[in-house]
Amino acid sequence: MIMLTELQKVYQGESGPVKALDNVSLEIEQGEIFGIIGKSGAGKSTLIRCINLLERPTAGRVLVDGQDMITLSEGELREARKRMGMIFQHFNLLSARTVLENVAFPLELAGVSRSEREKKVEPLLELVGLTDKRDVYPAQLSGGQKQRVGIARALASEPKVLLCDEATSALDPQTTESILALLKDINNKLGLTIVLITHEMHVIKAICDKVAVIEGGQLVEIGKVFDVFTNPQSATAQDFIKAVVNNKVPDTLAKLLSEVPIVGGNLVMRLSFFGEATNEPFIAGLIRRFAVDVNIISGNIDHLQDIPYGTLLIELSGKDEDIQNALRYMQDLDLRTEVIGYVARHAHVAG
Amino acid sequence: MSQDMLMLLVEGLGETFYMVTVSSLVSALFGIPLGVVLVVTGKGHIKENLVFNQTLGAIVNAARSTPFIILMVAIIPFTRIIVGTSIGTNAAIVPLSIAAIPFLARVVESAIKEVDAGLIEAAQSMGASTGQIILKVLIPESMPSIVLGFTLTVISLIGYSAMAGAIGGGGLGDLAIRYGYQRFRADVMLATVVILIAMVQIVQSSGDYFAHRLNKR
Ligand SMILES: Nc1ncnc2c1ncn2[C@@H]1O[C@H](COP(=O)(O)OP(=O)(O)OP(=O)(O)O)[C@@H](O)[C@H]1O
Ligand SMILES: [Mg+2]
Q: What is the pLDDT of residues A7-63, one digit of tens each?
A: 999 999 888 899 999 999 999 999 999 999 999 999 999 999 999 999 999 999 999
Q: What is the tens place of the pLDDT at every residue in A272-324? A: 777 765 566 778 888 888 888 888 888 887 777 777 777 888 888 888 888 88
Query: Of A94, A108, A93, A96, which Cα lies nearest the Cα of A157?
Result: A108
Q: What is the tens place of the pLDDT at every residue in A143-153? A: 999 999 999 99
Within 8 A of A138 by CB-CB distance, chain B residues are: 216
Pick from B122, B129, B143: CB nearest A92: B122
Within 8 A of B123 by CB-CB distance, chain A residues are: 105, 109
Residue B102 reports pLDDT greater than 70:
yes
Residue A348 reports pLDDT greater than 60:
no
- The helix-helix angle for A114-127 and A143-155 (nearest 10°) equals 130
| Cβ(A40) – ligand 1 distance below 6 Å | yes
Candidates A24, A37, A45: which one to mutate for ligand 1, based on the most atoms within 8 Å of Cβ?
A45
Candidates A46, A58, A88, A196: which one to mutate for ligand 1, based on the most atoms within 8 Å of Cβ?
A46
Confidence of residue B55 (pLDDT cuts 50, 70, 90): very high
3 state SS for chain A: CEEEEEEEEEEEECCEEEEEEEEEEEEECCCCEEEEEECCCCCHHHHHHHHCCCCCCCEEEEEECCEEHHHCCHHHHHHHHCCEEEEECCCCCCCCCCHHHHHHHHHHHCCCCHHHHHHHHHHHHHHCCCHHHCCCCHHHCCHHHHHHHHHHHHHCCCCCEEEEECCCCCCCHHHHHHHHHHHHHHHHHHCCEEEEEECCHHHHHHHCCEEEEEECCEEEEEEEHHHHHHCCCCHHHHHHHHHHCCCCCCHHHHCCCECCCCCCEEEEEEEEEEHHHHHCCHHHHHHHHCCEEEEEEEEEEEEECCEEEEEEEEEEEECHHHHHHHHHHHHHCCCEEEEEEEEECCCCCCC
Residue A232 reports pLDDT greater than 70:
yes
Within 8 A of A90 by CB-CB distance, chain B residues are: 116, 118
Determine the residue among A105, A133, A146, A153 to mutate to test chain B binding: the one whose Cβ has the most chain B Cβ atoms within 10 Å.
A105
Tally A–B CB contacts below 8 A.
65
B105, B53 Cβ separation under 8 angstroms: no
With CA atoms as reference, the chain A residue closest to B119 would be A92
Cα dihedral B32, B37, B43, B46 sign: positive
B172, B18 Cβ separation under 8 angstroms: no
| Cβ(A41) – ligand 1 distance below 6 Å | yes
A195 touches chain B (CB under 8 A): no
Determine the residue among B125, B136, B212, B214 to mutate to test chain A binding: the one whose Cβ has the most chain A Cβ atoms within 10 Å.
B125
Interatomic CA distance for residues A170 and A164, integer angstroms: 13
Mean pLDDT of A120-147: 95
pLDDT, chain B, mean: 92
Question: Which residue type sits at A256?
Answer: L
Looking at the CA of A56, which ligand is closest? 1
Within 8 A of B122 by CB-CB distance, chain A residues are: 86, 88, 92
Confidence of residue B93 (pLDDT cuts 50, 70, 90): very high
Residue A247 Cα to ligand 2 middle (Å): 29
pTM of the model: 0.87
pLDDT, chain A, mean: 90
Range in A84-88, A163-167, B159-163 with the lowest mean pLDDT: B159-163
Domains identified in chain B and CATH numbers? 3-214 (1.10.3720.10)
Neighbours of A64 (CB within 10 A): 22
Residue A214 CA, closest ligand 1 atom number = 21
| Cβ(A42) – ligand 1 distance below 6 Å | yes
The phi and psi torsions of B18 (rounded to 5 degrees) equal -65, -50
Residue A274: predicted pLDDT: 72
Residue A346 reports pLDDT greater than 90:
no
Query: Of B212, B101, B96, B99, which Cα lies nearest the Cα of B148?
Result: B212
Do the Cβ atoms of A109 and B126 come within 8 Å? Answer: yes
| Cβ(A11) – ligand 1 distance below 6 Å | yes
Do the Cβ atoms of A52 and B125 come within 8 Å? Answer: yes
Residue A271 reports pLDDT greater than 80:
yes
Do the Cβ atoms of A81 and B127 come within 8 Å? Answer: yes
Cα torsion for B99, B105, B107, B109, to the nearest 10°?
Answer: -160
Cα torsion for B149, B155, B156, B158, to the nearest 10°?
Answer: 150
| CA-to-CA separations, A14 to A11, A18, A310, in angstroms, rounded | 9, 9, 47
| CA-to-CA separations, A140 to A87, A96, A259, in angstroms, rounded | 19, 12, 59
Mean pLDDT of A91-113: 96
| Cβ(A137) – ligand 1 distance below 6 Å | no
B130 touches chain A (CB under 8 A): no
Do the Cβ atoms of B122 and A88 come within 8 Å? Answer: yes
Cα torsion for A153, A155, A159, A165, to the nearest 10°?
Answer: 70
Neighbours of B124 (CB within 10 A): 22
Interatomic CA distance for residues A146 and A139, integer angstroms: 9
Do the Cβ atoms of A106 and B137 come within 8 Å? Answer: no
Residue A277: predicted pLDDT: 59
Pick from A82, A92, A138: CB nearest B127: A82
Confidence of residue A67 (pLDDT cuts 50, 70, 90): very high
With CA atoms as reference, the chain A residue closest to B117 would be A92
Strands A84-88 and A161-165: parallel
Q: Please tell me the distance in Å from B134's CA to the nearest CA on chain A.
A: 12
| CA-to-CA separations, B68 to A268, B73, B84, B157, B161, in angstroms, rounded | 87, 9, 21, 10, 10
Residue A351: predicted pLDDT: 43
| CA-to-CA separations, B17 to A300, A326, B173, B194, B208, in angstroms, rounded | 79, 99, 12, 15, 20
| CA-to-CA separations, A21 to A4, A24, B15, B28, in angstroms, rounded | 12, 7, 65, 45
A76 touches chain B (CB under 8 A): no
B104, B149 Cβ separation under 8 angstroms: yes
Do the Cβ atoms of B136 and A52 come within 8 Å? Answer: no
With CA atoms as reference, the chain A residue closest to B121 would be A54
Q: Please tell me the distance in Å from B50's CA to the nearest CA on chain A.
A: 17
Interatomic CA distance for residues A227 and A258, integer angstroms: 30
Neighbours of A306 (CB within 10 A): 6
Beta-bridge partner residues of A296:
A314
Q: Which of A87-91, A230-234, B168-172 has the highest mean pLDDT?
A: A87-91
Determine the residue among A95, A160, A161 to mutate to test chain B binding: the one whose Cβ has the most chain B Cβ atoms within 10 Å.
A95
| Cβ(A216) – ligand 1 distance below 6 Å | no
